[in-house]
Structure 1
Amino acid sequence: MPEVLVALAVSGDDHIAEVRTLLGKLRADDDVPGLAPRLVRGEADPRDLGLVDEIIQVALDPTLHAGVAGVVTTWLTTRRRAVKLRIKRKGKELDLDAGNPKDAARILEQVKAFLDEE
C-alpha cells in the first residue's frame, strides 16, 4: 500500500505548545522509525476547533499505523488539560478529545481503525 498523507491538528489551552509536544513524541518514538512529521501553517477552521496555528503533516506507510496510533494515544491521554485532536486523511476526519488515561484503550482502537480504513 502507498503512503497516505495524514494531518494532525490540536486545539485547547496552549495548543501551540501541545502540537509541538506531539511532534516531538512522533519524532522520538522507536516504534515509528523513519517517520518524518513536519509542521505546517494552519488556517481558520469554520467548525469548533477554531484557529489552528500549526498542523503536523506526515506521510504514513501502513506498517506504521499501530506505532503512530500508540504515540497519539499516549500523548492524548497524558495531557494535564483536556485537548482536542483532529486527524485527517483521504478526505475523512476523526475528532478525539481526552485528558484521562482511562480513555486510552478506546482512543487507541479508534485511531488504529481510522488509520487502517481504505
Structure 2
Amino acid sequence: MKILVMRPSPEGEKLVNILNDIGILSWHFSLFDFLPSTSSISLSKKIYKLYISDIILIFSKKSVYYTNLYLNQNNLHWPIIPDYYTIGKGTAIFLKKYVKKKFYFQKMKKIVKLY
C-alpha cells in the first residue's frame, strides 16, 4: 500500500515520517501552505469585518493560530458577538483556548455546542 498525504506543512511531513517509520510507504504533497500574510493590502479593513460579523466559520487550526497571532500583535481580542462554527472537533478544541464563549462544531452530520 502507498499513501499520498496532502496535509499542509509541517503536519503533512510529520505524518509521512510516522507512516514510513512503521513501514507504510508514504509521500507528501500539499496543495497549499499556511503562512503569515505579507500582503500590502491593509488587514485592518478585514479585521473590522471580523468584528461586525454575525457568524464566523473556522476551517483549520492554522487559521485560528495565524488570526490569533495577528490579534495579539495588534493588541486585539477575538470578537464576542458572532456565533463561531468550526469544521471538526480538533479545530473546536483549539479555538476554545482563545474564544471564551459557546460555539459550534459539526459532529456526525449534526451541529453540537461546545461548552
Tell me whether the two structures share a fold, i.e. TM-score over 0.5.
Answer: no
Name the one with the larger strand percent.
1
Band of TM-score, shorter chain: under 0.3
Bigger-Rg structure (1/2): 2
TM-score between both structures, scaled by the size of structure 2? 0.27
